[in-house]
Structure 1
Amino acid sequence: MLGGLGKLAAEGLAHRTEKATDEAVHIVEEVVKEVVGHAKEAGEKVIAEALKKAQESGEKIVKEATETVTNTVTNAVTHAAEGLGKLGQ
């Protein structure tokens, strides 16, 4: 009779252990999902900020290059006009 009770107790313990393990696995899965979600969100923010800064930097470079070309062309045209004006005198 004690052998049957021991077997029954062992089966109960095994069942409770399996249930607890399943619950622990479920909790860990939920935590992992949450951590991955936060990491993904943070990564997306970092990428968006990097793209924004790259775009701003690119716009600044284009603006500076445009100003430089405009000034160079303006100076060249002014110099040429002055040279032509001197030839006409």
Structure 2
Amino acid sequence: MNKCPSCGCVRTDDTVKCTQCGRLFSKVIDIISAEAAEEELLTFRGQCKRILQSGNIKAELLAEYKHFKDGLSRKGVFTLYVIIAFVFLLTLSVL
């Protein structure tokens, strides 16, 4: 939490009290916010943000593909390649 919920004063460090109004900051809100940010990184949207914010998008995409591929079984990899081949052949037949 970067702002005081009462007065809106910006929180600069790990203070427990607001420097202007003296209201205590809630550690529970900080923990929930940290967990929500961590969960968003695991979503597709969070992964896309991380890839786009990286300096080298191509390397980050290849690393993400390798991580995805390593999580699949041999049957899963085969199924994925069959689907890709089917879509490719379907597109080729339309042209």
TM-score normalised to the size of structure 2?
Answer: 0.28
Higher helix share: 1
TM-score, length-normalised on structure 1? 0.29
